[in-house]
């Protein structure tokens, strides 16, 4: 049998051994199975409560994400307690791509982008024509999608009931897709609706994303490759050396998503904060 002791429980047990201080049963229960993922910080309310703990009084914290003070009872001589808190709202957020991602036949490598710089006559290319759209969308999920969700949640909390729309714009790096996609701009707009039930907000939104980048810098790419022995890379180098004048060109594409989310109306009680 394995006994798992939290620092809080261990400290209380030591106090019990040394001074006969009664063990708080809730600590023991908490140790064995924390009944909730969150708790409400409770102080004893007298004038001996340190100010940093008084500031936590009544606030909700997650067991897996302690405040700077640590959890109640962890600090020396702390008499604060953790009251189990069950969020009354079961939160979720899902955003999925609704446009068709139709990729080109062959995925462009970096030297294809360089060749296009010299021989494309400045013609813009679409990510989907060069097999990069799906990768860019996948790379967008963590930062771009989440950033847009935060903006939507903020607006939904301000709206509470009804429709809302706005635009967004930011620059991101897409080096994980290809180092040719350095600083790229993703801008777009969303149309959302929100309704309230109790402390829950139900949100749906349609989001349109536009990706744009300007290819300007083949020399930087060549330096990054640094003495590649790839024959195709060498061939591209020779082409650059032939001093064919290059032209900047746009790398573009767009996609749409749909978002459905249930979030707590109060950002402080929500896993989805702004």
Does 8 engage in binding with Zn ion (CB under 5 A)?
Answer: no
Residue written as tokens 């710089």? 117
Strand partners, 259: 95, 205
Instruction: Name the residue nearer to Zn ion (CB basis): 69 or 247.
Output: 69
Instruction: Name the residue nearer to Zn ion (CB basis): 75 or 91.
Output: 75
Q: Which of residues 58-87 bind Zn ion (CB under 5 A)?
A: 78, 80
Q: Using CA atoms, how far apart are residues 74 and 81, in angstroms rounded to an integer?
A: 10
Q: C-beta of 269: minimal distance to Zn ion in Å?
A: 21
Q: Which of residues 111-170 bind Zn ion (CB under 5 A)?
A: none
Q: C-beta of 8: minimal distance to Zn ion in Å?
A: 11
Q: C-beta of 15: minimal distance to Zn ion in Å?
A: 14
Instruction: Name the residue nearer to Zn ion (CB basis): 53 or 181.
Output: 53
Q: Using CA atoms, how far apart are residues 16 and 171, in angstroms rounded to an integer?
A: 57
Instruction: Name the residue nearer to Zn ion (CB basis): 50 or 154.
Output: 50
Q: How many residues of this chain bind Zn ion (CB under 5 A)?
A: 3
Radius of gyration of the chain (CA): 27
Q: C-beta of 42: minimal distance to Zn ion in Å?
A: 9
Q: C-beta of 139: minimal distance to Zn ion in Å?
A: 44
Instruction: Name the residue nearer to Zn ion (CB basis): 48 or 241.
Output: 48
Residue 208: half-sphere exposure toward Cβ, Cα within 13 Å: 7
Q: What contacts 156, CB < 8 A, 6 or more positions away?
A: 164, 192, 194, 201, 203, 263
Q: C-beta of 43: minimal distance to Zn ion in Å?
A: 6
Q: C-beta of 38: minimal distance to Zn ion in Å?
A: 18
Binding track, positions 38-57, relative to Zn ion; x by CB under 5 A: ---------------x----
User: Which of 217, 252, 249 has the alpha carbon at shortest distance from 129?
Assistant: 252
Instruction: Name the residue nearer to Zn ion (CB basis): 53 or 116.
Output: 53
Q: Using CA atoms, how far apart are residues 159 and 98, in angstroms rounded to an integer?
A: 25
Instruction: Name the residue nearer to Zn ion (CB basis): 42 or 154.
Output: 42
- Cα angle value 54/56/58 (rounded, 5°): 100
The answer to whether the beta carbons of residues 254 and 98 sit under 8 Å apart is no
What is the largest distance, in Å, between two alpha-carbon atoms of the chain? 87
Q: Using CA atoms, how far apart are residues 180 and 115, in angstroms rounded to an integer?
A: 13
Which residues here bind Zn ion, judged by CB under 5 A? 53, 78, 80
């Amino acid at each position: 049998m394995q006994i798992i002791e939290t620092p809080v429980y261990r400290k209380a047990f030591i106090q019990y051994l040394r001074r006969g201080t009664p063990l708080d049963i809730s600590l023991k229960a908490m140790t064995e199975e924390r009944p909730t993922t969150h708790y409400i910080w409770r102080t004893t309310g007298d004038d001996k409560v340190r100010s940093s703990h008084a500031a936590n009084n009544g606030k909700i914290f997650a067991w897996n994400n302690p405040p700077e003070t640590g959890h109640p009872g962890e600090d020396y001589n702390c008499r604060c307690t953790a009251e189990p808190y069950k969020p009354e709202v079961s939160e979720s957020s899902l955003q999925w791509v609704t446009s068709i991602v139709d990729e080109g036949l062959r995925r462009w490598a970096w030297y294809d982008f360089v060749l296009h710089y010299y021989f494309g006559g400045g013609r813009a290319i679409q990510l989907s024509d060069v097999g990069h759209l799906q990768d860019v969308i996948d790379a967008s999920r963590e930062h771009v999608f989440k950033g847009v969700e935060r903006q939507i949640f903020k607006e939904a909390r301000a709206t509470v009931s009804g429709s809302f729309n706005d635009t967004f714009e930011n620059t991101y790096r897409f080096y994980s897709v290809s180092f040719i996609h350095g600083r790229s701009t993703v801008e777009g707009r969303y149309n959302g609706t929100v309704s309230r039930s109790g402390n829950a907000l139900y949100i749906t939104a349609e989001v349109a994303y536009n990706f744009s980048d300007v290819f300007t810098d083949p020399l930087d790419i060549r330096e990054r490759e640094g003495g590649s022995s790839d024959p195709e890379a060498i061939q591209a180098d020779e082409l650059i050396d032939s001093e064919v004048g290059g032209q900047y060109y746009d790398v573009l594409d767009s996609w749409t998503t749909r978002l459905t989310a249930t979030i707590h109306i109060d950002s402080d009680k929500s896993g989805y904060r702004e």
